[in-house]
Amino acid sequence: MGEWSFLGDFLEKVHKHSTVVGKVWLTVLFIFRMLVLGTAAESSWGDEQSDFMCDTQQPGCENVCYDKAFPISHVRFWVLQIIFVSTPSLVYMGHAMHTVRMEEKRKMKEAELEAREKKNGGDTYYQQKCSVAEKEAKLSGWDEAGGQIILRGSLLNTYVYSILIRTAMEVAFIVGQYVLYGIFLETLYICQRAPCPHPVNCYVSRPTEKNVFIVFMLAVAVLSLFLSLAELYHLGWKKAKERCSRSYKASPSTAPGRLESAPQAERAQMYTPPPDFNQCLSSPNGKFISPFSNKMASQQNTANFATERVHGQEDAAGEGPFIKSSYVESPEAASECAAPAFPENYFNEKRRFSKASRASSKARSDDLSV
Amino acid sequence: MDWGALHTILGGVNKHSTSIGKIWLTVLFIFRIMILVVAAERVWGDEQDDFVCNTLQPGCRNVCYDHFFPISHIRLWALQLIFVSTPALLVAMHVAYRRHEKKRRFRNGEKIDIEELKNEKFHIRGPLWWTYTSSIFFRIIFEAVFMYVFYYMYDGYQMPRLVKCDAWPCPNTVDCFVSRPTEKTTFTVFMLAVSGICMVLNLAELCYLVIKICMKESRKTT
């Protein structure tokens, strides 16, 4: 099993950033496939060529008959299967690591901007920059409060694609195994190939034991396929539900009614780019950079009021429209691309005092919440 | 072969690589070293025992095997992997040298955090850029050379089923049969494809580094 450690180490990291079904899939991969392959199957197939006997004295006939019967040994086929099936997860992990790194860079940049802004005494440019950065963060699937990676936006897409490709690979290898060998190995193989002078009886070594392992590995492959499909269904169903509920709720709200749109806790888990982006595109007439200078004062008052409330009620999820709309939903609370000033500013306040930032500023990689 | 030691050394270099460099390292370890150890060594394991010649002449089989397989694929791949990994050691040495310099400055009285020094990530700038770029360049050269050596030594990338041998002491032209030719061809093509991918990654990384430095220079001048 030592040789599998290279892949094993990488997959351990993937394990941390997977959903629950993904973790089950990885466990199945490790225990039922890699371990079984490395220990039992290898010794079963160890003497496959030396004990492949043909009823002939013709030199070379056994070699060519073995080559014809087993173009690629089962064990090597399964090794390739495991590697190709694990590869999409590695790509996803690369993306997740990239997201974590980008998030750390963004935090550093914001800290710098904050310091600079304190010197300058505050201006809208910084707030707009924060709004852009916020949008990026939301798109990439980063949740500030929990320090977790939430599957959202491009990260979710990568995850879904990785599962799709994984499923395709599983199917391809199962079908390939069937095409190459059928399901069961026969004891007797009749071979007709030069230099064998005539059709020759060749006898496979340990056919029953090999059949047991073939059936076992096939069953595990089908189980893995089933787990991948279950994960896809789970992700797809949630995504469709979110999209339906969002499209239903987005239609009546066109006014900058952040307070009205607030109590939508489920929006915390959206999977596509936030609605304000789409709304921006759909209504391009001056809603994007509307000068709300006459409303700034009242907004600032509201912000200060909300900030005071938040300091007292940090743990309350969904306790008030301000908390909901500005923290979790700030991209859409920056709704219709209007008045970016309020949510971003507020968000910074919230972030400054969130539990996560107090406890640690490092990314915590736990169970993914979808 | 203890590839774990190589894994430890190259893991250290990984910290100071670009993203493409990290991908290259992953591909190297999973698709090349792991496949070599787990699969390919088994396939080539019985290459001489099951190399059968249609003759009773003692010594003919040995001589024919030696004539057609001067150096086994497995050993060539191991050499290729070692040569291709070696330039990364240059980078590791350069980074170690920089750390050593910093430690020396610390000992001479400058304030430097030891912990931070151990985990510091050096950005690829200045002399390190030259070391890094030349290491990638040598990697590409080594990959290309080994791919050509394979092609030249074995007349292409397909393993023949039957080879005709008339080296002394074989009395006449003798048919010799290679063991598991199809499986060997499969793995040869697989390793060739992965070498190609690694070469493409290295070329991409080289272009990326060159473009980055050009952009930086142009930004400095403007």
pLDDT at A316: 43
Q: Quick one: pLDDT band at residue B17, thresholds 50, 70, 90?
A: confident
pLDDT at A299: 59
Q: Count the domains in chain A.
A: 1
A83 in B contact zone (CB under 8 Å): yes
Question: Using the beta-carbon criterion (under 8 Å), do B162 and A79 form an inter-chain contact?
Answer: no
pLDDT at A19: 82
Question: Using the beta-carbon criterion (under 8 Å), do A83 and B181 form an inter-chain contact?
Answer: no
* A5 vs B contacts (CB less than 8 Å): 4
Residue A276: pLDDT over 70: no
Residue A257: pLDDT over 60: no
Residue A339 within any structural domain of the chain? no
Kindly provide the ipTM of the predicted complex, given to two decimals.
Answer: 0.77
Share of chain A above pLDDT 70, in %: 58
Of B23, B33, B52, the CB nearest to A63: B52
Its domain, for residue A39, covers 4-47+72-116+174-187+207-246
Question: Using the beta-carbon criterion (under 8 Å), do A59 and B183 form an inter-chain contact?
Answer: no
pLDDT at A154: 80
Residue A89: pLDDT over 70: yes
β pairing state of B162-165 and A148-149: unpaired
Task: Please give the average per-residue pLDDT across B93-111, as a whole number.
Answer: 80
Q: Give the CA dihedral A62, A64, A66, A68, nearest 10 degrees.
A: -150
Residue A298: φ, ψ to 5°: -65, -35
Residue A354: pLDDT over 50: no
B39 in A contact zone (CB under 8 Å): yes
More confident residue, A338 or A114: A114
Lowest mean pLDDT among A1-15, A97-111, B165-179: A1-15
Residue B10: pLDDT over 60: yes
Residue A69: pLDDT over 60: yes
Task: Please give the average per-residue pLDDT across B27-54, as a whole number.
Answer: 90
Distance from CA of A228 to the nearest CA of B (A): 22
Give chain B as a 3 state SS string. Answer: CCHHHHHHHHHHHHCCCCHHHHHHHHHHHHHHHHHHHHHHHHHCCCCCCCCEECCCCCCHHHHHHHHHCCCCHHHHHHHHHHHHHHHHHHHHHHHHHHHHHHHHHHHCCCCCCHHHHHHCCCCCCCHHHHHHHHHHHHHHHHHHHHHHHHHHHCCCCCCCCEEEECCCCCCCCEEEECCCHHHHHHHHHHHHHHHHHHHHHHHHHHHHHHHHHHHHHHHHHC
Return the top range by mean pLDDT from A331-335, A361-365, B41-45: B41-45
d(CA B219, CA A192): 71
Tens digits of residue pLDDT in A9-29? 888 878 877 888 888 888 888
Question: Using the beta-carbon criterion (under 8 Å), do B177 and A59 form an inter-chain contact?
Answer: yes
Q: Quick one: pLDDT band at residue A32, thresholds 50, 70, 90?
A: confident
d(CA B32, CA B125): 30
Q: Quick one: pLDDT band at residue A306, thresholds 50, 70, 90?
A: low
Interface residue of B37, B38, B188 to substitute, partner A, most A CBs within 10 Å: B38
Count Cα atoms within 13 angstroms, Cβ side, for B63: 16
**CA geometry: angle A131, A258, A288, nearest 5 deg:** 50
Tokens in use for A63?
Answer: 């070699």
A63 in B contact zone (CB under 8 Å): yes
Q: Quick one: pLDDT band at residue B179, thresholds 50, 70, 90?
A: very high
Q: Quick one: pLDDT band at residue B106, thresholds 50, 70, 90?
A: confident
Return the top range by mean pLDDT from A40-54, A294-308, B88-102, B149-163: B149-163
d(CA A355, CA A142): 16
Q: Quick one: pLDDT band at residue B115, thresholds 50, 70, 90?
A: low
Question: Using the beta-carbon criterion (under 8 Å), do B38 and A50 form an inter-chain contact?
Answer: no
Question: Using the beta-carbon criterion (under 8 Å), do B181 and A5 form an inter-chain contact?
Answer: no
* A72 vs B contacts (CB less than 8 Å): 182-183, 186
Question: Using the beta-carbon criterion (under 8 Å), do B183 and A70 form an inter-chain contact?
Answer: yes
Q: Quick one: pLDDT band at residue B190, thresholds 50, 70, 90?
A: very high
pLDDT at A309: 54
Residue A176: pLDDT over 60: yes
Of B33, B39, B179, the CB nearest to A49: B179
Lowest mean pLDDT among A45-59, A138-152, A182-196, A356-370: A356-370
> Cα separations (Å) of B6 from A175, B2, B24, B89, B192?
37, 8, 15, 10, 21
pLDDT at B114: 65
B5 in A contact zone (CB under 8 Å): no
Of B3, B4, B180, the CB nearest to A67: B180
* A108 vs B contacts (CB less than 8 Å): none
Lowest mean pLDDT among A26-40, A320-334, A340-354, B12-26: A320-334
d(CA A348, CA A330): 11
pLDDT at A138: 54
Residue A8 within any structural domain of the chain? yes
Residue A14 within any structural domain of the chain? yes
Interface residue of A43, A49, A68, A73 to substitute, partner B, most B CBs within 10 Å: A49
Task: Please give the average per-residue pLDDT across B142-169, as a whole number.
Answer: 92
pLDDT at A167: 94
* A83 vs B contacts (CB less than 8 Å): 30-31, 34-35
Residue A145: pLDDT over 70: no
Give B39-74 as a 3 state SS string. Answer: HHHHHCCCCCCCCEECCCCCCHHHHHHHHHCCCCHH
**CA geometry: angle A32, A184, A58, nearest 5 deg:** 120
Task: Please give the average per-residue pLDDT across B89-94, as a whole number.
Answer: 83
Average pLDDT, chain B: 88
Tens digits of residue pLDDT in B161-171? 999 999 888 99
Count Cα atoms within 13 angstroms, Cβ side, for A370: 22
B37 in A contact zone (CB under 8 Å): yes
| Three-state DSSP state, A54 | strand
Tokens in use for A304?
Answer: 């200060």
Cβ pair A155, A99 in contact under 8 A: yes
Residue A164 within any structural domain of the chain? no
Residue A273 within any structural domain of the chain? no
Using the 8-state DSSP alphabet, how is residue A368 labeled? P
Q: How many residues does chain B have?
A: 222
A205 in B contact zone (CB under 8 Å): no
A71 in B contact zone (CB under 8 Å): yes
Q: Quick one: pLDDT band at residue A352, thresholds 50, 70, 90?
A: very low
Chain A residue closest in CA terms to B18: A98
B31 in A contact zone (CB under 8 Å): yes
**pTM tops 0.95, yes or no:** no
Q: What is the CATH number of the domain that holds A108?
A: 1.20.1440.80
Residue A135 within any structural domain of the chain? no
Tokens in use for B77?
Answer: 């791949």
Which residue carries 């400095």 as its tokens? B220
Average pLDDT, chain A: 71
Task: Please give the average per-residue pLDDT across B96-116, as a whole number.
Answer: 76
Residue A72: pLDDT over 90: yes
Amino acid at B80: Q
Hey, which CATH number is domain B18-49+73-159+184-219, 3.30.465.10, 1.20.1510.10, 1.20.1260.10, 1.20.1440.80?
Answer: 1.20.1440.80
